Amino acid sequence: MSLHPNTQAVRIQTPRTNEMEHSTPLFLTSSFCFDNSEEMRAAFAEENDSNIYSRFSNPTVQEFIDKMCALEGAEAGFATASGMSAIFGVFMAFLSSGDHLLSCKSVFGSTHTIITKYLQRWKIDYSYADIKHPETWESLIRPNTKMIYVETPTNPGLDIVDMEWLGALARKHNIILLVDNCFATPVLQKPIDYGADLVLHSATKWLDGQGRVLGGVVVGKKELIRDLYLFCRNTGPSISPFNAWVLSKSLETLDVRIQRHCDNAEALVKALEGHPKLNSIKYPFHPSHPMYEIAKKQMTRGGGLVTFDLKGGVEAGKKFMDALQMLSLTSNLGDTRSIASHPPSTTHSKLSREEQESVSITPGLIRISVGLEHASDIIADIMQALDKC
């Protein structure tokens, strides 16, 4: 019987124990035992699939990975302690001294720091490509380019990369294509369908959905995941079994949560249209988005993030944030609770003003992670804050 990926996210579980539990158990253990020395030898020789140590593998962690593979249409995966450890792990597993990384310019602040500061220690070079000018990307590819890395939609500018075009470009030059699918989730888009070799998530965001635990996950081609596993097994960025258990249970409601997030985001965008305090609104499924047609091609809905540019710049941004009564002020996103942030003064403050503008971050940019509250309450709080700024 062939099951829909959303059904698999509900039904994939570790084998039922003799206790006959209905909800999946939590294997909170550091190591695993063997009946005899031969079994133990065979496990270390990788002649069987026995668990050895939770830094290597764990049944609860594997359940989370299996669900993510089903949702993304991937062959294999590996879970990490955070989204950033997933990003760093992939870079270190596949990039060596003398290699070149091609990345979209619009990346999360900590990712920017890794690329521009820490990769240099291993003499790994990089180039930043402009999403708004895809015709320039191929000229940035070098003989030593080993990986292309993109976010789509980007953080926080919500720019969109045409993954079908990019997948063809990566195949043409035999380059690993790594896509951060954190903002859309596999409910809204599946990068592997468009040529991605590896897909990663900060599971801390929409996959958890309630702001409880940290986690990261990478899925994709089996042979690539094998290399990533070997690197991470020895360097130790493995996820806690408890966090994996929470995330696995979260995936059971991912589809219904994402649909509600999208409903509320669409209602907010409609309410904000034409507001006199705003220069612009940005949402992937709004016709005013410059990459609207690409978003419609590769996404099923626009997601739960909305950005808008306040007239009055930084000072207006501060006044708006301070005037909010219900929305949370935090650096996270993808929560049941709606969240507001001012990226130019927080998550992307390490970028120069010129760098911020090049990735769609204006002084008055506000990012709203639209939660699961009643849409009218979300809209009312944002409207009264706009009146006060």
Structural domains in the chain plus CATH codes: 5-251 (3.40.640.10), 255-388 (3.90.1150.10)
Query: How would you class 167 by CB atoms within 10 Å of its CB: exposed for 0-12, middle for 13-18, buried for 19 or more?
Result: buried
Q: CA-to-CA distance for 118 and 103, rounded, in angstroms?
A: 15
Q: CA-to-CA distance for 366 and 346, rounded, in angstroms?
A: 11
Q: Position of tokens 């499924």?
A: 285
Q: Position of tokens 């005899």?
A: 36
**CA angle centred on 377, ends 155 and 248, rounded to 5°:** 55
Q: Mean pLDDT across the chain, nearest whole number?
A: 96
**CA angle centred on 181, ends 326 and 97, rounded to 5°:** 125
| pLDDT value of residue 3 | 96
List pLDDT tens digits, range 117-171.
999 999 999 999 999 899 999 999 999 999 999 999 998 889 999 999 999 999 9
| pLDDT value of residue 5 | 95
Distances (CA, A) of 29 to 221, 240, 266: 29, 10, 44
| pLDDT value of residue 244 | 98
Give every residue of the chain whose pLDDT is below 50, as ranges. none
| pLDDT value of residue 263 | 98
Q: CA-to-CA distance for 84 and 195, rounded, in angstroms?
A: 23
Mention every residue, 6+ apart, whose C-beta is less than 8 A from residue 382.
Answer: 268, 271, 272, 324, 327, 340, 368
| pLDDT value of residue 361 | 87
Q: CA-to-CA distance for 329 and 340, rounded, in angstroms?
A: 5
**CA angle centred on 206, ends 166 and 113, rounded to 5°:** 60
Say which amino acid occupies 116.
Answer: T
List pLDDT tens digits, range 64-83.
999 999 999 999 999 999 99
Where in the chain does DSSP place strands (E)? Answer: 76-80, 100-104, 125-129, 145-151, 176-180, 198-202, 216-220, 278-282, 305-310, 328-329, 339-341, 365-369
| pLDDT value of residue 347 | 76
The pTM of the full predicted model, rounded to 2 decimals, is: 0.95
In sequence order, the β-bridge partners of residue 176 are: 147
